[in-house]
């Protein structure tokens, strides 16, 4: 049995090892946390349930009234993950994610306001803060007296976070901070900022360090409220630092380890966005089923038509499987697992894309009404668009998933491992640092017998287990083969990397769903779990087809032609073949 806390399920999977203990049994909340969640859900219904018109108005106004933020504070919404000894609710990751689900059912701007505070704004303090820092700030963060924001992005540094230019230079036992941060959620009313800056001589070349900066420090100023496509009621501003004197004791974590801290904060906070996405999907299923039952065409409710059933059925599959993945990642973090970065990235990519698809289909089911501002659909489509961009774009996360998950394969291929260390430890930062890799080196031998098995699962889901095991074998073979074939050039092979990431996403979702369905069978028996088994069947069938296609297209594709067309378009900066 492997140590659950130090094993990454996906990294092992790329080696052909199925670490079943990591994902089975499906995580469940403690009785205490369940009870607390019921109370929170009830309170949220009271606070948010009757506010549909307000949310729509605030979206049109592009603002959230200060009075409402005060109400969120009174409800304790800013203290969700803060330990009880500091005045918070002390929710674990799973319960926190479930709370954002509840909020996400009502309004995405509210969910992101709460999420930016807990998922990223103050999470660095929770993860790396000293006891003194925690006692100083946590009670105020729990009560909402201080709302937190996460300040990483700059005009020249988004995905390439390592390119930040904000500097912090030592002076009088403290630091002098200069620079500007862009698109900071909660910027308009935050009092507590987790800020990333380059330390050293101020030439912008030093290592990154994280700092706690508060709004009352001289030289901190806030830019205007951004006019956005979606999440319009949430606050997004620039935050500027002009010779801000930051006391020495406000360094967060270790000096020089700010990049790692930023990535850890983002990894750890991903279940918040995943939870909000699942909540959004549940809301969309409610809206769409009601709409489809009510709307009649050709004398029939549209819910009777196959094409509408296909959409709603898929929404159910997307919601159930997303919930399985997001809950699983929350459970892994709560159980003290340290190796969950790949799995957390998968949960973000998968849940946000399922939500986008559900939102689009729900709008389609509503027909012309869906396009009208009077109805909620167009706002939901606008609101959820950003999910695929912030907290790591889904493109960057796909590269991260594939490259990080293959870490142990690369470790086996020793020379490759040595030369690729920087890339696999820090793929986002380390693109392009691999040295030549000898193709000649012997590597993995993934044969039938070397592959792990899943055991002890109900016979009713054995066909799905078989598919999972077979595709795991294919993945391990492909990871080994691709690393041998491309060596350092894997970094430039984004088409292939993306396909591997998509295969890994499908396999992780399949494994989490198997675990969830097995838990339901254990609790209720096969008959009662039959609908859930159907969801598993649908997902697995569809995933098998996608995985097969992705494997085939790693070698057999039109990538070079597509790239040539893109290069041509980049050169011309226009479409070349207009008909007039
Ligand atoms: C509403 C909103 C709220 C936000 N809140 C915060 C916040 O609270 N704190 C904070 O620090 N930031 C925040 N951000 C910033 C957000 O995290 C960044 O927008 C995001 O990281 C992407 O960076 P970018 O916009 O500079 O895009 P870019 O990095 O310029 O990327 C542009 C496109 O190129 C792709 N791309 C980039 N590099 C590669 C590559 N190597 N290979 C393939 N494709 C690539 C990207 O996936 C993307 O599609 C927010 C942004 C918005 C819009």
DSSP string, 18-36: --HHHH-SPP---HHHHHH
User: What CATH number was assigned to the domain covering residues 31-143?
Assistant: 1.10.540.10
Mean pLDDT computed over every residue of the chain: 92
pLDDT tier, 417 (very low <50, low <70, confident <90, very high otherwise): low
pLDDT tier, 437 (very low <50, low <70, confident <90, very high otherwise): very low
DSSP string, 410-458: HHHSHHHHHHHHHHHHSHHHHTT------TTS------GGGS----S--
For residues 43 and 433, the model is more confident at: 43
Among residues of the chain, what percentage have pLDDT more than 70? 93
Check whether 72 has a pLDDT greater than 60.
Answer: yes
Q: Which two tokens stand for residue 99?
A: 């709370």
The mean pLDDT of 434-439, rounded to a whole number, is 36
Rounded to whole angstroms, how far apart are CA atoms 535 and 519? 14
Is residue 111 within 8 Å of residue 279, measured between CB atoms?
yes
Give the lowest-confidence range in 26-35, 106-115, 383-392, 428-437.
428-437
Check whether 532 has a pLDDT greater than 90.
Answer: yes
Question: Taking the CA of residue 149 as centre, how many other CA atoms within 13 Å lie in the half-sphere pointing to its CB?
Answer: 26
User: Cβ(184) to ligand 1 under 6 A?
Assistant: yes
310-358 pLDDT, tens digit each: 999 999 999 999 999 999 999 999 999 999 999 999 999 999 999 999 9
Question: Taking the CA of residue 62 as centre, how many other CA atoms within 13 Å lie in the half-sphere pointing to its CB?
Answer: 10
Is residue 410 within 8 Å of residue 418, measured between CB atoms?
no
- Which residue is closest in CA terms to ligand 1's atom 44? 395
For residue 527, indicate whether it is catalytic: no
Rounded to whole angstroms, how far apart are CA atoms 55 and 382? 14
pTM as predicted: 0.94
- Our CA angle for 90, 239, 232, nearest 5°, is 75
Handedness of CA 345, 347, 350, 356 (dihedral sign): negative
CATH 3.40.50.12780 fits 397-567, yes or no: no
Annotated domain spans of the chain? 31-143, 148-258, 397-567
Rounded to whole angstroms, how far apart are CA atoms 317 and 324? 11
- Which residue is closest in CA terms to ligand 1's atom 7? 184
User: Cβ(7) to ligand 1 under 6 A?
Assistant: no
Give the lowest-confidence range in 284-293, 424-433, 480-489, 494-503.
424-433
Check whether 441 has a pLDDT greater than 50.
Answer: no
Domain 148-258, CATH homologous superfamily name and number: Butyryl-CoA Dehydrogenase, subunit A, domain 2 (2.40.110.10)
- How remote is the C-alpha of 311 from its chain's centroid? 24
- Which residue is closest in CA terms to ligand 1's atom 26? 158
């Amino acid at each position: 049995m492997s140590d659950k806390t130090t094993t990454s399920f996906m990294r092992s999977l790329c080696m052909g090892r199925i670490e079943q203990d990591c994902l089975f049994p499906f995580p469940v909340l403690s009785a205490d946390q369940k009870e607390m969640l019921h109370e929170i859900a009830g309170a949220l219904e009271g606070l948010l349930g009757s506010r549909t018109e307000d949310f729509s108005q605030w979206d049109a106004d592009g603002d959230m009234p200060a009075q409402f933020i005060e109400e969120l504070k009174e409800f304790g919404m800013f203290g969700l993950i803060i330990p009880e000894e500091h005045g918070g609710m002390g929710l674990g990751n799973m319960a926190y994610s479930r709370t954002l689900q509840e909020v996400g059912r009502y309004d995405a701007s509210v969910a992101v306001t709460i999420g930016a505070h807990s998922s990223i704004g103050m999470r660095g303090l929770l993860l790396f803060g000293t006891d003194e820092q925690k006692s100083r700030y946590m009670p105020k963060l729990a009560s909402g007296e201080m709302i937190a924001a996460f300040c990483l992005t700059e005009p020249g540094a988004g995905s390439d976070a390592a390119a930040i230019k904000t500097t912090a230079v030592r002076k009088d036992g403290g630091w002098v901070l200069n620079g500007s941060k862009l698109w900071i959620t909660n910027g308009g009313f935050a009092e507590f900022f987790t800020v990333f800056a380059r330390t050293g001589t101020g030439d912008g070349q030093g290592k990154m360090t994280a700092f706690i900066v508060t709004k009352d420090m001289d030289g901190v100023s806030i830019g205007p409220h951004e006019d956005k496509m979606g999440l319009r009621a949430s606050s997004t501003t620039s935050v500027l630092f002009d010779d801000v004197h930051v006391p020495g004791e406000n360094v967060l974590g270790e000096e020089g380890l700010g990049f790692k801290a930023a990535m850890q904060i983002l990894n750890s906070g991903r279940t918040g966005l995943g939870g909000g996405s699942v909540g959004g999907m549940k809301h969309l299923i409610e809206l769409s089923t009601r709409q489809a039952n009510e709307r009649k065409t050709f004398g029939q409710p549209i819910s009777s038509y196959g094409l509408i059933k296909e959409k709603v059925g898929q929404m159910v599959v997307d919601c159930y499987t997303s919930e399985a993945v997001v809950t699983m990642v929350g459970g892994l973090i709560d159980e003290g697992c340290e190796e969950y970065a790949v799995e957390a990235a998968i949960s973000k990519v998968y849940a946000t894309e399922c939500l986008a698809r559900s939102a689009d289909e729900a709008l389609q089911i509503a027909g012309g009404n869906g396009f009208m501002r009077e109805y909620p659909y167009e706002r939901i489509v606008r609101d959820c668009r950003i999910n695929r961009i912030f907290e790591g774009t889904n493109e960057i996360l796909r590269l991260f998933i594939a490259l990080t998950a293959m870490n142990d394969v690369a470790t086996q291929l020793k020379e490759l491992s040595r030369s690729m260390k920087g890339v696999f430890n820090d793929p986002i930062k380390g693109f392009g640092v691999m040295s030549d890799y000898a193709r000649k080196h012997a590597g993995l031998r993934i044969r039938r017998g070397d592959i792990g098995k899943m055991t002890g699962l109900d016979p009713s889901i054995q066909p799905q287990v078989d598919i999972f095991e077979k595709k795991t074998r294919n993945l391990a073979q492909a990871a080994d083969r691709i690393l041998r074939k491309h060596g350092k050039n894997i970094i430039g092979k984004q088409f292939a990397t993306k396909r591997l990431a998509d295969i890994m996403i499908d396999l992780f979702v399949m494994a989490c769903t198997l675990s969830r369905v097995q838990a339901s069978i254990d609790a209720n028996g096969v008959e009662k779990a039959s609908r859930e088994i159907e969801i598993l069947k649908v997902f697995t069938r569809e995933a098998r087809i996608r995985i097969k296609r992705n494997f085939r297209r790693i070698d057999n594709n039109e990538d070079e032609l597509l790239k040539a067309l893109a290069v041509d378009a980049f050169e011309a900066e226009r479409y070349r073949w207009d008909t007039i």
